[in-house]
Amino acid sequence: MTAHPRRQWTPPSGQRPRSPPGGDVNTIPWIPAPARPIVFKNASVVDVAGNTVHKGRTVVLENGVFSAVSRGAGDLVPDARVIDLEGLYLCPGLVDCHVHINMSDGRPSSGYTDPHLRATYTLKAMLARGFTTVRDVGGATYAQAQAVKQWLTPGPRLFQGGNIYRRARRPAVARGARRVALLRAGAGDGADHVKICTSGGVSSPTDALESVQFSPAEIRAITSTVADMQGTLVTSHAYTVPAIRRAVENGVRGIEHGNLLDRDTAKLLASTGTFLTPTLMISTAKGRAPWNETLPDYMREKNAKVRDAGRRAIQIAEEEGVTVCYGTDLTMGMGYLQSEEFTQRAQLLPSHRVLAHATINAAKLLDDDKIGVIAPGAYADCLVLPANPLEDVRVLDVGDDGRHGGIWGVVRDGRIVVARGEFAELVEEVGGLDVVLGIQEAA
Ligand SMILES: [Zn+2]
């Protein structure tokens, strides 16, 4: 038998030591090369602030941002991938302002894995649903935010506040001092916000929902420390009116859940510029099969109290002019329900208001005007849709068909990460996806 010539291997002859990746010991090898620019032609650009669609636009994505949005053909962009959308809708990427990336998918009973590794699945799944930004309000770390920023794991850009500051079972004085010390440490770790709890929770067996936690002095110690250090938002988990008022009257400017909000308290939120992030989906899911069967009795009772009230609260908040944001709070395997929050809110409010929750209102909460808008200088995060989400926001719900409803394309940082439907063919013609998520499409 003769040797195949192409299977011959020649040992290296030179003595030259090989160089590190990128030729420099400080190069981070997993950071991808810049994506080729994209030019979307004939895009119907969704303008959430104006509650209108701008048809026939040319949108250029370069170096991670939108570099131009123009009428007609626009300028020539060297080396660009040109995609004619033929009138498909280009919508700003979505923001979920209340997630827990380390607790969202999988259940302890189905086997433990490292929470940070488990989160790599959750982050990809969220991105596949069109969430290009999320705010984690308990558990995520600065290191995880950096990993996403560097594309070490694909996911939405991540805002995080580290740990939650809860009521501690210690004497009050030590408690206050310890909490402020923890806060300084957390803020030093690059926290984007600080989260406290001023009311009991649904899932805790020991806290009554009606309990009000933290004294006014303790809350002021936290809000003034944060203001002195960096001025980021302090936000509070609070269901009841006394817990919401205790927080807001002492400098807290974000309320999570807020299910039992009344009209007078909504007026207080509006007049102080306090953000409200309702989370209808978690109580909706816990109230129906199969999740209701997994709850202990005490939790079922607590959940019933907040579920229906939450639906009224979001309407009251909108009527009183509160800046309402999109949140879901899904944990323990419920992550796949993240997009149904759109459908739940669409039963209560006009679609364009609901889309604002997940785009422009979220941008205000995160204090980042490069989010939630398709405009020059903003992050190149967007979705390709077959229908106008300002008219029917349910196009963003993945639905139960496992085919991601109407989200045909997802782009984060100018990188195409999802292409479905007609958009898949258009992307194939220009060389395919920039990043393959590699997770199952269902869910
Ligand atoms: Zn939560």
For the sheet containing 233-238, what is the strand order? Answer: 164-165, 193-197, 233-238, 254-257, 275-277
| In the chain, % of residues over pLDDT 70 | 89
| Res. 213 pLDDT band, cuts 50 70 90 | confident
Confidence of residue 185 (pLDDT cuts 50, 70, 90): low
**pLDDT score for 399:** 59
Mean pLDDT for all residues in the chain? 89
| 136 C-alpha to ligand 1 centroid (Å) | 8
pLDDT (tens digit per residue) in 309-330: 999 999 999 999 999 999 999 9
Residue range 208-216: mean pLDDT, rounded: 84
Quote the ligand 1 centre to 310 CA distance (angstroms): 15
Q: How far is the CA of 36 from the centre of ligand 1 (A)?
A: 38
The pLDDT value recorded for residue 173 is: 45
For residue 140, the model assigns a pLDDT of 93
Ligand 1 mean position, distance from CA 332 (Å): 12
Tell me what the mean pLDDT of segment 151-159 comes to. Answer: 97
Q: Ligand 1 centre and the CA of 186: distance in Å?
A: 18
The structural domains of the chain, ordered by start, are: 38-92+373-429 (2.30.40.10), 94-366 (3.20.20.140)
Does the structure show a pLDDT above 50 at 169?
A: no
Poorest-pLDDT segment among 127-136, 183-192, 236-245: 183-192
pLDDT of residue 72: 81
Cα(138) to centroid(ligand 1), Å: 7
d(CA 144, CA 141): 5
Which pair of tokens denotes residue 118? 């488990």
**Per-residue model confidence (pLDDT) at position 149:** 96
Task: Give the confidence band of 166 by pLDDT, cuts at 50, 70, 90.
Answer: low
352 CA distance to ligand 1 middle (Å): 25
Q: Higher pLDDT residue, 415 or 233?
A: 415
Q: What's the pLDDT score for residue 226?
A: 82
pLDDT of residue 400 exceeding 60, the answer is no
Residue 176: what pLDDT? 60
Residues 6+ apart with CB under 8 A from 314: 278, 280, 324, 345, 348, 349
Cα 61 to ligand 1 centre (Å): 34
CA of 383 relative to ligand 1 center, distance in Å: 26
Centre of ligand 1 from the C-alpha of residue 330, in Å: 8
pLDDT at 171 over 50: no
Q: How many CB atoms lie within 10 A of CB 27?
A: 11
| d(CA 14, ligand 1 centre) in Å | 59
pLDDT tens digits, 332-362: 899 999 999 999 999 999 999 999 999 999 9
What is the rounded distance in angstroms from the CA atom of residue 385 to the CA atom of residue 395?
Answer: 8
pLDDT, average across residues 128-141: 95
Name the band, by pLDDT with cuts 50, 70 and 90, for residue 224: confident
CA dihedral over 291, 297, 303, 309, signed as positive or negative: positive
Q: Cα(348)–Cα(398) distance, rounded to whole angstroms? A: 19
Q: How far apart are CA 96 and CA 323, in angstroms?
A: 14
Q: 293-306 pLDDT, tens per residue?
A: 988 888 888 898 89
The share of the chain scoring above pLDDT 90, in percent, equals: 66
Q: How far, in Å, from the CA of 100 to the mean position of ligand 1?
A: 7
Give pLDDT, residue 346: 97
- Residue 203 in this model has a pLDDT that exceeds 80: no
Ligand 1 centroid to 185 CA: how many Å? Answer: 21
Q: Write down the pTM of the prediction.
A: 0.92
Q: Helix, strand, coil: what percent of the chain each, to 5?
A: 35, 20, 45
Instruction: For residue 170, name the pLDDT band (cuts at 50, 70, 90).
Output: very low
Residue 16 tokens, joined: 């030259």
- How far apart are the CA of 235 and the centre of ligand 1, in A? 11
Q: What is the DSSP string of 311-325?
A: HHHHHHHHHTT--B-
